[in-house]
Structure 1
Amino acid sequence: MRFFSKKIDNQIELYQRELVETHYKEVDNMYKKMRGWRHDYRNHIQMMKALASNGDMEGIKAYLDELDTDLNTVDTVIKTGNAMADAILNSKISLAQSKDINVSVDAHIPVKLKMSELDLCCIIGNLFDNAIEASMELPIEQRMIRVYMDMKGSQLYISFTNLTAGKKLKKIGKLFGTTKGEGHGLGLIRMDGIVDRLGGYLSRNSEDGAFTTEILIPQE
């Protein structure tokens, strides 16, 4: 039993390292895109000057439309007040949108959190990854993820909701049945462990057509 428990702990630790590495790669990729756009800023200005000198107002308008579209793909769209939450949320939003998933986020973290950035990264990353995986089973027009984060008194409240393929999931203990493989299960175990260690509360609810996870974590 002890050997089995240690093996599970090692698997979770390995999964945690891989998860964080993936998140930071996503964040780094997002900021590389932003830096690349800024690097090209001078070239964009020179191009518009050339169009203006030729009196080509339609050309300027078309070029500005292209720049506006390009900027929307790299701009930081969510500003919660917490740098790590911003980085993870924005990288995951970009990933979800690339898979034609509609994402709605209302997130505010006006205070400095007591929990570590590693724990915050694991929780948000797991919730988003699970919601993206579930959304991919739906037709494009039905894919939706809704995120809400805010302080409830001295506790951080996190809520993730995604549409599902229409059937209510079967609950096994604290978790719901999944066919996503070993990594998915380890992610849920890791997330539950973090919430327990921080003295928090976690609730999962599967109703026909939707799956919601709610988390409360004390910050005192």
Structure 2
Amino acid sequence: MSAWIWEAVRICFLGLVDLFFEYRFLKKMCGAKYRCTFIWFYLGSFIYGYANRTFTLAGTTLGNFIYLSLCGLVLNMLLFHGSTVKKIFFTLWMYCAPEIAFCAVFPLIHAAAAADGSGYCSERVLSAAGFAVCLVQYLMMEILQRKLHLLRRDFSEKDAFYLMYIIVFIYAAVTLVLDLFTGIGEWAEGTLFPTALCCSLIAAAGTGLHLFCVIMLERRLLERLAEQQYAMLSSHLESAGEQYEQLRKMRHDMKNHGLCLARLLADGRTEEAVHYLEELDIRADQGQSAVQTGSAYADALLNPKYQQARKLGIDISIRMSAPGEDRLAAADLCCILANALDNAVEACERGSHAGAPAGWIRIRSRTHPNYWMLEIRNSIHEPVAVEQGRIRSSKRRHFRQQPAYGVGLQNIRSVVDRYEGVMEVESETEFSLNIMLPVASR
């Protein structure tokens, strides 16, 4: 077999391995939209990469980077879930990582070639450098997808753009240093290798900072999630305190009720005693759970929120059945219900503050043998723009004024994507959230 066939087999094999790790990373972080997504991912990458090599669509290093990044972004937009900002961030990160890692290796190779007088590097040495760069990228992606689970959520534009600026700046700075180093034709004695070592260390530091950017994004998401959980826990504790106070009052009054009934029966006033018991039954019914879904976790979550909405004057109706814990994890069920109901209550409150009539909320769900359907509708006092299943404010948005209900929808979307379900958001004359999750018995 001739040499060019072996070279073609080697290139195809390395390309297949490289795309496999990239696809595995994107599937973990974003979620694949279709079956056999890897085949479409491989074909798309092969086509635009082959077109670039054949027709030299990008003749410079910067042009090649821009062309490949844009083609990769289009492919990722078509094949994977998640917000546009998230896909842009990971596309830039994946294309910058190998370039920065290569800048950490190449100065030493170039210095060795310049020192022996040849002035160029052999194909074998460059292939070895490329292989080392790929290993660095695979290691970084493996660390991220194993350790940083929160990156599977959608993150805010502020965090994403801030870190994209840093990543692009690192890439531009390291590439500039490499171009300056390789552009020098003559070196003073004893300066070549120290300079090459400094350039490699700068690029290595850039690689570490490159990885640190993503770790920092994970920390920001963790802090935001902790703040949201703290607010939710405070609300639950307040509701639990109100229920405890109500039970304490009932226990305190029970003795007096018993004495009153005993006196009525002792005096032979049976009809009045029966009427008194009926009034006690009505009070007891008012103290019982208004929402019963078949899940103790859902009941414990929804009943306090139901009472809170009633106190705010909201016309709320809940008729739902929840799947068992063996079909849908209790934490995921509560995440969906808590965020969705909080968003609906907040929307009704905003309408009341704006002078609109009292709002309403309708929650319906059905459990089927293989899937669970949930529909939550609520009134809105002004149109709400929805883009790719995410709420976009009609007013000018500042980075420090991110709406809380957008974060809630992101949390719901992360659960839906994890179960490979379907989520639809509509907003015309009312706001509607529809979810379908495959929840067959595990």
Q: Give unmatched runs, 5+ long, in structure 2.
A: 1-162, 164-213, 396-400
Structure 2 match to 1:203: 424
1:214 to 434, 437, 441: 434
Q: Which residue of 2 aligns with 1:91?
A: 304
Equivalent positions of 1:126-141 (< 5 A) are: 126-136=339-349, 137-138=351-352
Give the 3 Å change call, closer, same or farther, for CA 216–22 of structure 1 in structure 2: farther
Q: Find the residue that maps to 1:156 and give its secondary structure.
A: strand
Q: Could you tell me which of 374, 378, 395 is aligned with 1:162? A: 378
Verify: 1:13 aligned to 2:225, yes or no: yes
Distance in 1 separating the partners of 2:248 and 2:420:
42
**Corresponding residue number in structure 2 for 1:120:** 333
Contact 2:375 2:432 in 1 (8 A): yes
What SS does the aligned partner of 1:78 have? coil
Structure 1 residues 183 and 134: alpha-carbon distance in aligned structure 2, compared to 1, 3 A threshold: closer
Choose 74-83 or 182-191, whichever is displaced more: 182-191
Query: Cα deviation per residue 1:135-180 (whole Å; 9 max; x = unaligned)?
Result: 1214685421111122133112111111111x33112332123488
Cα separation, 1, equivalents of 2:333 and 2:322 = 12
Cα distance change of structure 1 residues 16 and 5 upon mapping to structure 2, 3 Å threshold = same
What does residue 31 of structure 2 align with?
none
Check conservation: 1:195, 1:201, Cα contact below 8 A. yes
Higher strand share: 1
Query: Do the aligned partners of residues 26 and 152 (structure 1) sit closer, same or farther apart at CA in structure 2, a change above 3 Å counting?
Result: farther
Any idea what SS the aligned residue of 1:21 has?
Answer: helix
* 8 A contact 1:16–1:122 mirrored in 2: no
Matches of 2:358 and 2:236, distance apart in 1 = 29
Question: Structure 1-normalised TM-score?
Answer: 0.80
- Does the residue aligned with 2:327 lie in a helix, a strand or coil? coil
Instruction: Kindly provide the amino acid, as one letter, of the partner of residue 418 in structure 2.
Output: R
1:39 aligns with 2:255: no
Q: Which structure has more RCO (C-alpha within 8 Å, separation ≥ 6)?
A: 1
Pair 14,119 (structure 1): closer, same or farther in 2 beyond 3 Å: same
Is the alpha carbon distance of 1:49 and 1:110 closer, same or farther for their aligned partners in structure 2, counting shifts above 3 Å?
Answer: farther
Q: What's the secondary structure of 1:114's corresponding residue?
A: coil
The answer to whether 1:151 aligns with 2:371 is no
Counterpart residue identity of residue 206, structure 1: S
Q: 8 Å contact 1:78–1:90 — kept in the other structure?
A: yes
Task: Please list the CA deviations of residues 59-97 of structure 1 after superposition, one character each: whole Å capped at 9, or x if unmatched.
Answer: 9747854x4564344211222111111111111111111
Letter in 2 for 1:195: V
In structure 2, the CA distance between the partners of 1:79 and 1:126, relative to structure 1 (3 Å rule), is: same
Decide whether the 8 Å contact of 1:102 with 1:143 is kept in 2.
yes
Alignment coverage as a number of residue pairs: 217
Deviation at 1:126, TM superposition (A): 1.0
153, 170, 173: which one aligns with 2:388: 173
Q: 1:87 to 1:130 in 2, by over 3 A?
A: same
Q: Would the aligned equivalents of 1:158 and 1:216 in 2 still touch at CA under 8 Å?
A: yes
Distance 2:322 2:330 in 1: 13
Provide the identity percentage: 22
CA distance in 2, matches of 1:71, 1:16: 34
Change (3 A) 1:110 1:43: farther
* Structure with the higher fraction of residues in helix conformation: 2
Could you tell me how far apart the structure 2 residues matched to 1:4 and 1:189 are?
A: 19
Distance 1:72 1:141 in 2: 29
Q: State whether residues 149 and 156 of structure 1, in contact with CA within 8 Å, keep that contact through their aligned partners in structure 2.
A: yes
Distance 1:22 1:72, change over 3 A: farther
SS in 2 for 1:77: coil
- Residues 19, 122 of structure 1: 8 Å contact kept: no
User: TM-score normalised to the size of structure 2?
Assistant: 0.43
Cα distance in 2 for residues equivalent to 1:140 and 1:188: 24
Tell me the CA shift for residue 58 of structure 1: 6.1
For 1:12 and 1:188, locate their aligned partners in 2 and report how far apart those are by CA, in whole Å: 14
